[in-house]
Chains A and B, each alone.
Chain A
Amino acid sequence: MSRRVAITGVGAVTPLGVGAAALNERWAAGDSGISDGLGRCADFEPTDHLSRRVARRTDRFTQLALVAAGEAIGQAGLDEASYDRAEVGCVMGTGIGGISTIEAEHAALREGRGKVSPHCVPQMMANSAAGALAIEHELRGQCFGTVSACAAGANAIGAAARMVAHGDASACVAGGSEAAITELAMAAFAEMGATSESGISRPFDRRRDGFVMGEGAGAMVLEDADTAESRGARILGYLTGYGSTADAHHMTAPEPSGEGAARAIAKALGDAEIAPGDLAYVNAHGTSTPLNDRSETEALKAALGEEAMRIPISSTKSAIGHLLGAAGAVEAVATLGALRAQVAPPTLNLEEPDEDLDLDYVPGEAKPLPLNGHPPIGISNSFGFGGHNVVLCIEAAA
């Protein structure tokens, strides 16, 4: 990357609560946001945060995005910053988009009303979170959604980092959101065997049987580091590397050797100009599916070599479930939180190790990060149906 990219604000709405602090502190404490086999944002009441007008004209995935990004923007002081608003971008990923709107409107149409709400299209389209954010915060630079299933939030942050590094934007709001705990989506994921029958998210455990559906949003404000510094923004960390590859193997199954994922890890490290020995933490994709956790382990071993055995690796999904298109963004926020606290939060429910899954997955309890004289650096892995592999490299501010 050419210009250094600073992270000046983070936000999250997750099953652990509203706010990035709830995510970081409660996960590190070993709390779970999963209840009855689902990771719902039970504390989230849209009208607590949004006007009635905005709340009734937006799908839940956009509402979650507005609140998570609003927190990040507030922390960064971006609304008050003297940027030319035409130089501020917005990239928001989602796996599906406004699926609860699609399902409800389709039901209304079929039940004889014969028409749908005029708000149906703006609510269901997958880019509506990005559009709504741009309107709400007057972000008039590049604005779009990313669509790469469970890697979408990470692709959004990666694309935003490139935008800032390349000088196409002075700052960019980036993240992901998902609200797909719906009748159709749950039936669809269950039918293909992706979701857990036990309702327990236990990544890397021998008994893992699929992912637990979650919902939520995560977001970051990225800025050109020099400009952020000169405007007096508090720099939380840096987005130093981005790697994005495809398996080109199967629509939903990861390539077993993890070759594509390993390439993404290597690309992110190369982009950040660091070696595996520089890493203090890995935030795993760690879905709790039999296939992912094995191929991800293979990928980490291939990309990091012997260092893979030393670095603490944990899965946010053990505490909140799989937030699909939001996962990569929420986990980037959690990765920065772990690096700043210098603590690897735990992989919950990991009690019975699986054969060959022999890395340090931080079972049960948080542990201190191994430090080596510079601010901690970590990576966050995100992989998506379609064969997408995305890795972000993040460094905590000194």
Chain B
Amino acid sequence: MATQLPPGIELEKVDDRIMTLNVGPQHPGSGHMRLIIKVDGDYIVSCDPDPGYVHRGEEKMAEYRNYIQNIPHLERPVIHDSCNILYPYCLAVEDLLGIEVPERAKYIRVIGSELNRCTYILYWLAIYGIFLGHSTMFMWPVGDRELFIDLLEAMSGARVTHAYFVPGGVRNDLPANFEERCLRQVDYFEKRLKEYEDIFYQNPVLKQRTEGTGILSRMDAIRLGTTGSVLRASGVDFDVRKKEPYDVYDNLDFETQVLREGDSYARSRVPYLEMFESCRIIKDALKKMPKSGSVRTKLKPNPKGGNDEVYRRVESGRGSLGYHIISNNRPEPYRVKISVGSFRNLICIPYLLKGEKLGNMPAVYWSLNYWPVEADR
């Protein structure tokens, strides 16, 4: 039966072997992002990612607001890692305006950044657990995440969207007795974290589903320009906190976690090991932090950047996160380009899924530490 189709719409030729599947764009399974997958039987022969369902035009919005008004909306792409997405913006604006940050504020920013990194990784881990049908691993991290959310709430007044970092320091000082409370909760969390090893990482079902799937070799990780835990799970020792230390990271005692396997299991394990390092950084920073002093350099009213440009980056929960800001003697930036880890790791998805079994798709996809909202910006 010949059907009349409206212009611009054509039917796909249905082949005998190859079938096209749309994974997404609804939330469960892919997270507001569509993967157009072609399968031959049980094997994926091609994958075409289709992001953009949560594109907000953050870069465009930033051109209409001044340097201070830009703070709250720029953290929206990753609300549960909001300190880290604002961090490079603050560093860049400080460079542009020539602002010195007080010493105590630098330590507070490091503590805030690491607390937020743990919050993000626990959230990601919870979803990885439920992706693989491990519901205990959904409940535990979400419960333990409350420890850090409570600390960040005491710090900034908000549970998720903190808007705590500002150019020139942080918005307000730490509350009384924060240090003791933070130390106590981080100590408890470190003990708790060790239990994850037995229930999740040594679980034979998890190992069977993730070990040996989606292998990314060291050279391919470099060639594809991946970043963050994906890069470190493939054996490249690169962490912006070590390579290009910002604020006080060069004074603090921590190590980068590198694994060599490059499979989904290694990629899921690197963030877990990094949480131990984050706890170490927090405890070290609390010890070395000046006990009093200013936490914010006051900006001049309606500050303007000169005819200048700057590129600054930090290590976020999903890898290196950079801001390229161009100013032209106006209170608003002329152009803000945000380079995020998720968008840089997007290129891995078609690369790794090709030749993989369809059932391994969730295990590979979520191990890439991909956050669709951040990738779209």
| B is a partner of A | no
The chain B residues found within 8 Å of chain A, CB to CB, are none
